[in-house]
Every structure is written in C-alpha cells, then in structure tokens.
Structure 1
Amino acid sequence: MQEIQNLSLPRTYSDLKPWLQEHYRDLPKRLQSVAVFALHNPDVIALNTVAVISEQAGVTPSTMVRFAKSIGYKGFSDMQEVFQQSMRHVPQPYSERLSSMQRPAVHEQSVLSQFSQAAMESISRLEQQTDEAAIKQASLQLAGARTVYIAGQGRADPVVNYLHYTLVKLGIHATLLQGTSPTITDKARMLRPDEVLVAISFSPYTANTKELVDVCLANGVNVVAITDSTLSPIARTDDYHLEVLEDEVNGFRGLSATMCLALCLAVEAGKQRAERQESSH
C-alpha cells in the first residue's frame, strides 16, 4: 500500500486525532479498524508491545507496522512515541493499570460490581481526557441559541431525553427533533442560523443523525455533536464535537459517562445563559 502523502507528520496525539479523521476514508478497511482501535485505546498503544497491541486489536503485528507507515512514521516505535508523549499528560496512568490488574477475574465478580467498575472507569477517563474548554465552547452555542434542537436514536435516546429535560428545567428553550426519514430531515431544513442542533450518535451510528448534521451544517446552523470517536461521521471539523467512550462489560455498554457529559453541558449552558441575562439588566 502506498503511504498517504503527509507534509506535516503528526508529532502529538492532539495533532494525530484530527489527521486520522481527515484521512480515515483513504485508509484500507483493515487499517481503518486499527485507526478506530488506536483512538479508543491510546493507553494500550502507548504502554504495550506491538505483539500485545495487535492481539487486542485483532490484527497481525505487520498490520500495525503498515498502519504506522501509512501515516508517514518510520515504523511502529516511531508512532508509539506519539502515544507515549500523550500519556505523560494523563494523571496516574500506571496506577490505573495496576488497579485493573488487581481486579478479580470476571467470573468472580457480581454483575453489579462489573458494571459499577465499568462506569467508574468511563467517568474517570472522561474527566482526565475531556477538554473543559471544548465543553465550554459547546455550551456557549446552547446558551446563545434561540432554540436548541436535540436528535439521536437507539442507544442515544436516553441521553437525548435527559438532556432535553435538563435544558428545559434550566430555562433553555429545547425541542426534540423526532420523526422518520425524510420527515425529520425536512424539519432540520427549517432550522435557522440562530438555532443549534445537538446530535448524539454512537457506533454503529445512525444514518438519520448523520443526515441531520449534514443538512444543518450546509445551512449555516451550528451543531454540537456528542459521539464516541473522532472518526464518527458526526464529528466534523466545522462543528463542536465532544467525545465520550464507555467501557464494555460482555458487550454491554452503559451510559454513565455520557450522562455525566450531557449534564455538564446543560449546566454550563444554564450558567452561561444566566450570566447573559444578568449582564443585560
């Protein structure tokens, strides 16, 4: 496979994430799966050998090397240094890994224990890795909007309803954008530039939500996206997107960290709205 031409090789993880988002569709399918794994598990990439990483990613070590070279790195170790540099800014990564190693085997844990642990780790990762400035920027869009429209389906549905409930309680005019395609798309076309769409979608992502984002951005309507990956189809360079990843337990993913993020977004928007109202008096 030919290497993707890259005049500016990403040397920090914060640079690598948008680079992968931009070039994701240029990668072969196999390398796309590696890209998703790498962005979801930066600590695994940073702290393990290529053999261990490839086993967890479900690919061969040579595929990991191909992935690194496709970006423009000399080899896997060259790329790994980028992930290792990013881990230096994450509080206590080694203590977290040690705590995980000391946990009892899954079959010895109760269901409550398994899901509680997954929820705690998901929320801890949210706190450590989420840029608070990004939350504030997104909340400013909600606070300044005439109406906040909220859309999401499937696993995102509880988050949609909770965010709507909280915004309304905080005095922000919010509306659920619901319906079937193409009706819901027609509704999205009616949004105005002084309104905002909050789009929520998680893997495997819903086509309807992506279409709503496309329509709104094309019409100059700001979009705040809550999703689980930089490579998500609703995470764009021209919107305000927040990433949240939930730990799995035997294939079941909770919403603990996602609900926490939604609450933070709503409360911050409420604070911003209240400050604006006070300054106008």
Structure 2
Amino acid sequence: MPDPAAPQDYDDLIRLIHERHDQMSRTFQRISVFLTRNPNEVAVRPVTAIAGRCDIHASSFVRFAQSLGYQGFKELQLVFRSRLALAAPGFEARDTALSAGLSTPGNRGELGLLADMVLRDIAALQELLNNISQQALAETTRLLQAADTIFLFGQMLSRPVAELMRCQLVMTGKRCVMLGQSGGLSAYIASSMTSRDLLMAISLRSTAAELLPILGEAEARGTPVVAIADSTLSPLAKAAKVLFAVPGHEGSLSAALAAPLCLAQALSLGLAARAGQSAAAPQIPGITTIRAAPRTGPGPGPGY
C-alpha cells in the first residue's frame, strides 16, 4: 500500500529528496540529481527511457519511488506531470507529437534534432519564468552593483554563459576576472578575492573539480557567491548566497542553454537599470565605430 504521507505536491517532493539526499545510496543520489535537473523529461518519458538516459536499471527508479512512500515510479511521475501541466501547458502534447515525428523513417535528420532542441528550450524558458523570483533577481543585481570585482567561473557547457556575462558586465563598467582559463592557477587568482567582491559560479550538467577550491577561497574570504546551476542538489547550493536552479536535460553533447543565457542577460540588464542606464529600457552599449590605428611604417593598408 502506498504511504498516504508520500508527497503529492512537487515542492514537497523536492524538499523530501533534499532532506534525504545525503543519506541515500550513490545510485539513488544519481537518480535524485537527474529528477531535479530534468523535471520535464521525467514528466513525459517512460521509466525505461529515463533509466536508459541515466544508465541505471529501471527497477532502481521503482525502488527509489518506493523509498519515498510511493507504490511505484508511476505515482511519483504523476507529481511531475501535475507540475508540468501548470508550468508549461501544452508541453506534453508538443513532446508527444515531436516524438512521433522523430520515430517516423526519414525524419531523424538535422531538422529533427533542431526541433528537439527548440522544444526543450521552450519548456526550459517557461520553467525559468515560473521558478525564478523577483527577490533573487533583485538581490543578485544588488550584489553585482556593490562588487568591486566580479569573478566569473564556467567551464565546458557552462562557458558560453560565463563569457556572455563577462562581456555584458564589462560593458556596464564592472571590473571582471574570468577564472577557469588560467592554466590551473584559478585557485591562486581566486585567493585575491575579498568580501567586497562577488563570485559568479556557473555549473551546468557537472561541477568542475577546479571550482571546489575556488568556492573554498570564497568562503574563507567572505566573498558572496551567486550560482547558476541545473539542480538544487548541486554542490554550489550550500555555498551560494543566491542560487538560480535552471534545469536542462541530459545528453551526450547537447545542452539546453537558452534559459541560462536569458537569465545571464537579464541580470546584466538589471545591473544596467540599477546603475541608472535608462531604467525604463536599459541598454548595454555596443561598439559602433572602430578607428584604424595610424600607420607608422610601410605595410599593407587598412583594407588588407
């Protein structure tokens, strides 16, 4: 018989997973991370498909659900489906239609891959709007504005988000230091952080080993941390003053980056608005003219 106390609300379920995560087996911890990273996937995919994506036997998902008080995985999945029906109406129908299209011979080409990514990003963007609070956004822009120097960290699939933030923050006049590209010296560079600075840590899909000592430096020096991660179970959660959990999806090469990139731009624009750069419609200045340096000797002209 199912436990009547088994969570029927998504937030209650995630809270229970958090409470038990540290005491779970390694397999159950991997399942927990997948569930929090990919709530839309969990809502619409059969357990065999989900298990295949994790390289974990489907029976482990059933036992995981039972450990939380459910009769089986389908009962746990209903909680994710209820959340999805409210968060992104129509997603399940679009996903079913896409899956049917991809299963049709001749539709497995590049257009099908593009359609798959677009669908996932639409759902992720909708989820971003539903999950991110005004309080978290306001606190982050306040921290960005107050920071003497903003240290940014993002590697592999997280790198584009960190680079976009650096570009836009520099354009607003902030001093930025990009970590993670210094030949193994990131922790030493991070040791120059102070309580007047800010660490923006971005970790999607996995947490780089190089990030952990940087978080240690931030804690030791009282440097506030703002994190963008794909799960509330990320190691960043305990270190972050503000955590933006932006679930994506699991894939060997792909990543749903539309949501974290959109969030990064919103934070930069929020900072521009706080700095008085047209608060009604903040703009980040761009380079409109590039002047050629004067020629000092023989050589090809400016059109070379």
Q: Does TM-score exceed 0.5, indicating one fold?
A: yes
Give the TM-score normalised by structure 2: 0.73
The secondary structure found in structure 1 opposite 2:199 is strand
CA separation of 1:271/1:41 partners in 2, compared to 1, >3 Å: closer, same or farther?
Answer: same
Please say if 1:124 is aligned against 2:122.
yes
CA separation of 1:70/1:219 partners in 2, compared to 1, >3 Å: closer, same or farther?
Answer: farther
CA separation of 1:57/1:180 partners in 2, compared to 1, >3 Å: closer, same or farther?
Answer: closer
Alpha-carbon offset, residue 109 of structure 1: 4.7
Deviations 1:72-104 (A, max 9, x none): 445545533432332232122333323423434
- What are the residue-to-residue correspondences of 1:64-79 with 2, within 5 Å? 64-73=61-70, 75-79=72-76
CA distance in 2, matches of 1:114, 1:49: 20
Percent identity of the aligned residues?
25
Q: Is the 8 A contact 2:36 2:231 kept in 1?
A: yes
| Structure whose residues are more often helix by fraction | 1
Q: Is the 8 A contact 1:119 1:246 kept in 2?
A: no
Q: Is the 8 A contact 1:118 1:248 kept in 2?
A: no
Alpha-carbon offset, residue 230 of structure 1: 2.2
Q: Tell me which amino acid in the other structure corresponds to 2:42.
A: I
> Bigger shift: 27-36 or 131-140?
131-140
CA distance in 1, matches of 2:23, 2:214: 24
**Structure 2: where are the runs of 5+ without partners?**
280-304
CA separation of 1:191/1:249 partners in 2, compared to 1, >3 Å: closer, same or farther?
Answer: closer
CA distance in 1, matches of 2:246, 2:259: 7
Would you say how many aligned residue pairs link Structure 1 and Structure 2? 269
Aligned to 2:266: 264
- What are the residue-to-residue correspondences of 1:1-281 with 2, within 5 Å? 10-47=7-44, 50=47, 53-54=50-51, 57-73=54-70, 75-92=72-89, 93-105=91-103, 108-111=107-110, 113-130=111-128, 131-133=131-133, 134-178=136-180, 179-181=182-184, 183-236=185-238, 238-247=240-249, 251-253=253-255, 255-274=257-276
The secondary structure found in structure 1 opposite 2:236 is coil
CA distance in 2, matches of 1:108, 1:250: 20
Alpha-carbon offset, residue 199 of structure 1: 0.8
Larger radius of gyration: 2
CA separation of 1:15/1:269 partners in 2, compared to 1, >3 Å: closer, same or farther?
Answer: farther
The secondary structure found in structure 1 opposite 2:228 is strand
The secondary structure found in structure 2 opposite 1:148 is strand
Give the alignment's Cα RMSD to 1 decimal.
3.4
Give the TM-score normalised by structure 1: 0.78
CA distance in 2, matches of 1:84, 1:158: 31
The secondary structure found in structure 2 opposite 1:253 is coil
CA separation of 1:125/1:219 partners in 2, compared to 1, >3 Å: closer, same or farther?
Answer: farther
Aligned to 2:300: none
CA distance in 2, matches of 1:230, 1:238: 11
**Structure 1: where are the runs of 5+ without partners?**
1-7
